[in-house]
């Protein structure tokens, strides 16, 4: 009996504690966006999202909470707002300010403690969220600075590319054997002596001439070999082919199919001409009969 009394007492204590917890839990503001103390929100289309722990979307609740929100400047001047609800997000309330705010300015959103949820529970105490808009002038200056850096970089890169291309063209032009280079002008532009410029120019021309001669030799080779008998030596001892030669000039006896067919037809025609014919040209039938008699 005593044991049953202890169990009953514990049961009653647990029930009372659960009731106290139920009464203690009510409507709470969990979070907001922007957060309290934020200073990076843009002044255009200013919107504050409020997140609660209970359903706030019913029509009856919306009517009861119509005057529960006040948005004002730090000096207390109220601004027009529009309260938005979303059935897909029943625990959220959005407060939209129907005016473009000033840049780098402090504002406050006041939430009444009488704000209630669908079950009738209230917030209990007033809440204030302090916010500050971004400094648009600073943002514009930063953006202009970044654009300026990009423009300077693009202009510098374009100028560098143009100078490099021009220098390459000048070097190619100076490397031609028949090109004329003003050594005094080049020496003035590069800071080198005239003798160094002349020596470098002659060296580049000699390389270009050797390269052109090598290319010319490769172009006139037949079957991978040049005709030694018809070649001439230049001052440097290099061989140059004077004219292209047929493959037979290199000692090849290979005959293509087209050439072999032509020679065969030619042999047939020669044999036929040598054998003659039994019917003289322009002979008639009567003359043939007379000749036979």
d(CA 243, CA 217): 10
pLDDT of 89:
93
pLDDT of 180:
64
SS3 129: strand
d(CA 109, CA 73): 9
pLDDT of 155:
87
64-98 residue pLDDT tens: 999 999 999 989 999 999 999 998 999 999 999 99
> Is 240 or 30 the better-scoring residue by pLDDT?
30
SS3 243: coil
Structure tokens at 55: 């359903």
CATH for the stretch 24-134: 2.60.40.1220
Token pair 């008639």: residue: 284
198-210 residue pLDDT tens: 787 778 778 777 8
Angle at 40 between CA 38 and CA 128, to 5 degrees: 25
pLDDT of 201:
76
72 near 107, Cβ under 8 Å?
A: yes
Q: How far is CA 69 from CA 4, 51, 113, 221, 276, in A?
A: 54, 14, 10, 96, 128
pLDDT of 79:
95
140-197 residue pLDDT tens: 777 777 887 888 888 888 888 888 887 777 666 655 555 566 667 667 777 778 788 7
User: Is pLDDT at 24 greater than 50 in this prediction?
Assistant: no
Other C-beta atoms lying within 10 Å of the C-beta of residue 73: 14
Q: How far is CA 290 from CA 101, 231, 276, 279, 282, in A?
A: 133, 69, 21, 14, 15
Percent of the chain at pLDDT exceeding 90: 31
Is the pTM higher than 0.85?
no
């Amino acid at each position: 009996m005593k044991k049953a009394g202890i169990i009953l007492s514990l049961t009653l204590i647990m029930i009372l504690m659960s009731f106290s917890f139920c009464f203690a839990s009510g409507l709470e503001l969990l979070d907001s966006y922007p957060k309290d103390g934020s200073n990076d929100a843009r002044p255009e289309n200013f919107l504050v999202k409020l997140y609660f722990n209970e359903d706030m979307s019913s029509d009856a609740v919306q009517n009861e909470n119509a005057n529960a929100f006040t948005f004002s400047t730090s000096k207390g001047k109220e601004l027009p707002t529009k309260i938005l609800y979303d059935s897909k997000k029943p625990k959220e309330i959005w407060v939209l300010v129907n005016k473009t705010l000033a840049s780098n300015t402090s504002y406050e959103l006041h939430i009444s403690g009488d704000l209630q949820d669908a079950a009738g529970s209230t917030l209990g105490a007033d809440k204030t969220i302090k916010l500050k808009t971004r400094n648009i002038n600073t943002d514009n200056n930063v953006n202009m600075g970044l654009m300026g850096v990009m423009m300077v970089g693009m202009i510098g890169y374009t100028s560098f590319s143009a100078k490099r291309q021009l220098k390459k063209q000048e070097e190619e032009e100076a490397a031609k054997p028949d090109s004329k280079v003003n050594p005094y002008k080049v020496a003035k532009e590069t800071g080198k002596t005239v003798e160094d410029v002349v020596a470098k120019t002659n060296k580049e021309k000699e390389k270009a001439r050797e390269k052109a001669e090598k290319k010319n030799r490769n172009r006139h080779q037949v079957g991978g070999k040049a005709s030694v008998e018809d070649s001439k030596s230049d001052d440097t001892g290099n061989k140059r082919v004077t004219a292209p030669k047929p493959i037979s000039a290199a000692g090849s006896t290979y005959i293509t199919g087209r050439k072999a067919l032509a020679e065969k037809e030619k042999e047939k025609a020669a044999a036929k001409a040598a054998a003659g014919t039994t019917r003289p040209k322009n002979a008639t039938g009567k003359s043939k009969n007379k000749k036979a008699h």
